DNA sequence: TTGAAAGCGCTAACAT
DNA sequence: ATGTTAGCGCTTTCAA
């Protein structure tokens, strides 16, 4: 390995000059700088980031922990994070917990040690997880707590329900996500509030059990949905809706003719499938950018949780209920 | 920050003993070890990985560079990599170049400095990129060169063409991917070979220009496809096929009735859309596992490029050509 | 079994 | 403008 010492010897200067010439060129005479640069190039010198990090106390990178890299929801957030990171000259390391809550503390611990700050986009990460990060700053996404950023699920639920009610639906089922998901709890609470507000109009909401936030999870929800008297379904996310719609079709239940479906997230999947899904969206890249900025330069600590707006995108999976 | 010194003072031992008790417990008396452990726990000590890495010369993590996190192809590879890494007690950092070839050398350089080895799954990474990794070992995916792992695209092309020819197609268009993609070049070469072999049977292949490997890219290919006399299309990947099918539908061209489509990759997207796509698949998790193992414990250097088999998955996007 | 001490490669005072 | 030096936190000889 080529070190500053080798470059210094070749260039005929001290190691301090090498360091300066490379990281603070203005502090060095032009001739010297050029000598150092050509020596470094000739030897193929590359700075050891571990050493620089140890010395500087910072690594120049931030981390992002997500539950599932294959879910476009997190890919979109990651893009936002990467944009802001690039502006700041920081690297981004993404780690995937593969929907395994057990593995998260370990992954987070390592990630926190190797970076200057971590964005936790895993819905199951909680207090215990924060502790594991030690002194490394943490910003959580779709969670509550200090330095949290979340989609305004209550508003999203309200828009979804208002849309369905306007179409004439009165019996709505919710196909819920992971038990420990804060976002799922938000959706459930908001649905309960809708029932309170609209109960007089005959609105009924059926909250269905815990399903994996995957295509398979959506498919496995088909029994519960079919057994209910609901004319419309709201799902935890796009991916679940896709699975559910497939399983429904296999049973001869047509969407939206026999059953309307509204999903959350509105990732690109929602517009891809047939029928295209009516879905509640957040600007995820903006969410990612915000989370990253919050990590780099925390704004007002007075506002611990920042909510991002949601908007209903009406497509082809919702219609007036039959008869 | 709590360091070994703090723990040593609290436990009444030297820093060397702290280090041993924590990383090599068998070298320390049980009583001492327990004292150190409780002191560390009480103080909330967490080892500084930068320092350990500097000293040990290794970071305990590997890196994975992909062009697009939102493409399920790479998510599947990442899962395979993560599986093997976990077995080896290594962390995995994923970095997304966002389909920007310009950014790759910089990202790779940083990734290489922060890890013990890098898997390059970006189709555009080349010789120059390898150099940037310096002494850090690199394994490339879907590229040629030393320590490379790739899908057997020639076989995949052969299967796709055989399927289409058997259905009665003679005019096939190829909707190609990024110019610098090795995998794209492989597909084109293999298609040319098919024409040589089957030209006598009347097979004609139209190679279409460079398109982005995204949904948008597929949509933008619709003009060229519609203008051709092809009755079947092979696309660079699933995502492109999805975009193309959408754009075709918007023009009233039905798949597979008016045009057959075969895609590459067979990610979960292929089975999700309507019609479900006939696609050529590789076991991507196995590919990822193999790449990671190749990085950790390189096997026979005699075989520089390892090919993984492809299999055609026939679904609903291919049919007999009309009239 | 434990401790003292060297040093991984780098940067930032401080001195010249 | 450049050099000398201390030291980031850790592991690992080498001695005791």
Cβ contact A37:A28 at 8 Å: no
- For chain A, what's the residue count? 323
The alpha carbon of residue B193 is apart from the nearest alpha carbon of chain A, in Å, by 34
Cβ contact B80:B132 at 8 Å: no
> A173 in helix, strand or coil?
strand
CATH class as words, domain A4-56: mainly alpha
| Any A CB within 8 A of B31 CB | no
Instruction: Please compute the mean of the pLDDT values over residues A274-290 and round it to a whole number.
Output: 95
Assess whether A16 (CB) lies less than 7 A from strand D. yes
Q: What is the largest CA-CA distance in chain B?
A: 89
User: Are B61-151+285-308 and B153-281 in the same CATH fold?
Assistant: yes
Cβ contact A256:A316 at 8 Å: yes
Q: Which nucleotide is nearest to A54 (CA to C1')?
A: D8
The alpha carbon of residue B1 is apart from the nearest alpha carbon of chain A, in Å, by 8
A74 vs B contacts (CB less than 8 Å): 69
Assess whether B56 (CB) lies less than 7 A from strand D. yes
> CA B17 → CA B2, B10, B28, B36, B171, distances in Å?
16, 12, 7, 8, 74
- The fold adopted by the segment(s) A153-281 is Rossmann fold (3.40.50)
pLDDT category, B169, cuts 50, 70, 90?
very high
A46 vs B contacts (CB less than 8 Å): 109, 113, 134
Q: What is the pLDDT of residues A113-148, one digit of tens each?
A: 889 999 999 877 566 677 777 778 899 999 888 888
Instruction: Please compute the mean of the pLDDT values over residues A53-77 and round it to a whole number.
Output: 90
Assess whether A4 (CB) lies less than 7 A from strand C. yes
A220 CA, C6 C1': Å apart: 62
| Any A CB within 8 A of B61 CB | yes
Q: B274, B227, B266, B223: which is closest to B246 by C-alpha?
A: B274
Q: What is the pLDDT of residues B205-256, one digit of tens each?
A: 999 989 999 999 999 999 999 999 999 999 999 999 999 999 999 999 999 9
Protein residue with the closest CA to the C1' atom of nucleotide D9:
B51
Averaged pLDDT of chain B = 91
d(CA A218, CA A71): 14
| Any A CB within 8 A of B93 CB | yes
What is the share, in percent, of chain B residues with pLDDT greater than 90?
67
The alpha carbon of residue B267 is apart from the nearest alpha carbon of chain A, in Å, by 10
CA angle B226, B231, B236 (to 5 degrees): 75
Domain segments of chain B as ranges? 4-56, 61-151+285-308, 153-281
Name the token pair of A134. Answer: 């030690």
Assess whether A32 (CB) lies less than 7 A from strand D. yes
Instruction: Please compute the mean of the pLDDT values over residues B55-62 and round it to a whole number.
Output: 86
Which pLDDT score is estimated for A46? Answer: 84
| Any A CB within 8 A of B88 CB | no
Assess whether B15 (CB) lies less than 7 A from strand D. yes
CB contact residues (below 8 A), chain B span 224-243, against chain A: 242
Side-chain-side CA neighbours of residue A110 (13 Å): 23
| Any A CB within 8 A of B17 CB | no
The alpha carbon of residue B66 is apart from the nearest alpha carbon of chain A, in Å, by 11
Instruction: Please compute the mean of the pLDDT values over residues A308-312 and round it to a whole number.
Output: 97
Which pLDDT score is estimated for A49? Answer: 84
Q: What is the pLDDT of residues B130-140, one digit of tens each?
A: 777 777 889 99
B263 vs A contacts (CB less than 8 Å): none
pLDDT category, A33, cuts 50, 70, 90?
very high
| Any B CB within 8 A of A265 CB | no
Q: Kindly indicate whether the domain formed by B61-151+285-308 is annotated with CATH number 3.40.50.2300.
A: yes
| Any B CB within 8 A of A195 CB | no
A53 CA, D4 C1': Å apart: 22
Assess whether B59 (CB) lies less than 7 A from strand D. no
pTM assigned to the model: 0.91
d(CA A206, CA A204): 7
Protein residue with the closest CA to the C1' atom of nucleotide C9:
A51
Side-chain-side CA neighbours of residue A99 (13 Å): 13
| Any B CB within 8 A of A46 CB | yes
Q: Which nucleotide is nearest to A6 (CA to C1')?
A: C9
B229 CA, D15 C1': Å apart: 85
B272 vs A contacts (CB less than 8 Å): 215, 242, 246, 269, 272-273
Instruction: Please compute the mean of the pLDDT values over residues A230-253 and round it to a whole number.
Output: 96
Assess whether B299 (CB) lies less than 7 A from strand D. no
Q: Is B191 left (phi over 0), alpha (psi -120 to 50) or beta?
A: alpha
pLDDT category, B269, cuts 50, 70, 90?
very high
Instruction: Please compute the mean of the pLDDT values over residues B56-81 and round it to a whole number.
Output: 91
Q: Which of residues 173-192 of A touch strand D (CB under 7 A)?
A: none
| Any A CB within 8 A of B79 CB | yes
Say whether the peptide bond before residue A275 is cis (omega within 30 degrees of 0): yes
Q: Where are the beta strands (DSSP E) in chain A?
A: 61-66, 91-96, 118-120, 138-141, 148-151, 171-175, 204-208, 232-235, 260-265, 278-281, 305-308, 311-313
């Amino acid at each position: 390995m080529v070190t500053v010492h080798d470059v210094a010897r070749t260039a005929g200067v001290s190691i301090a000059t090498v360091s300066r010439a490379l990281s603070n060129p203005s502090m060095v005479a032009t001739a010297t700088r050029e000598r150092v640069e050509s020596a470094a190039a000739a030897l193929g010198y590359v700075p050891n980031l571990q050493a620089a990090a140890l010395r500087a106390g910072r690594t120049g990178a931030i981390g992002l922990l997500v539950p599932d890299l294959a879910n476009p929801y997190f890919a979109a957030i990651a893009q936002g994070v990467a944009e802001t990171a690039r502006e700041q000259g920081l690297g981004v390391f993404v780690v995937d917990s593969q929907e395994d809550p057990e593995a998260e503390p370990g992954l987070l611990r390592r990630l926190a040690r190797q970076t200057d700050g971590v964005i936790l986009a895993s819905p199951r990460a909680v207090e215990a997880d924060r502790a594991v990060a030690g002194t490394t700053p943490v910003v959580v996404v779709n969670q509550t707590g200090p330095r949290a950023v979340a989609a305004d699920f209550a508003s999203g639920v309200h828009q979804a329900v208002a849309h369905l009610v306007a179409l004439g639906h009165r019996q709505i089922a919710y196909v819920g996500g992971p038990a420990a998901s804060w976002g799922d709890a938000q959706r459930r609470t908001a649905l309960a509030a809708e029932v309170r507000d609209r109960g007089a109009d005959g609105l009924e909401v059926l909250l269905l059990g815990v399903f994996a936030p995957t295509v398979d999870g959506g498919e496995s929800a088909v029994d519960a949905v079919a057994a209910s008297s609901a004319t419309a379904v709201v799902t935890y996310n796009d991916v679940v809706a896709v699975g559910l719609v497939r399983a429904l079709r296999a049973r001869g239940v047509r969407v939206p003719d026999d059953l309307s479906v509204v999903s959350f997230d509105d990732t690109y999947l929602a517009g891809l499938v047939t029928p295209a899904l009516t879905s509640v969206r957040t600007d995820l890249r903006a969410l990612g950018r915000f989370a990253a900025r919050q990590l780099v330069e925390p704004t007002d600590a007075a506002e611990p949780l920042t909510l991002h707006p949601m908007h209903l995108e009406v497509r082809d999976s919702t219609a007036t209920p039959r008869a």
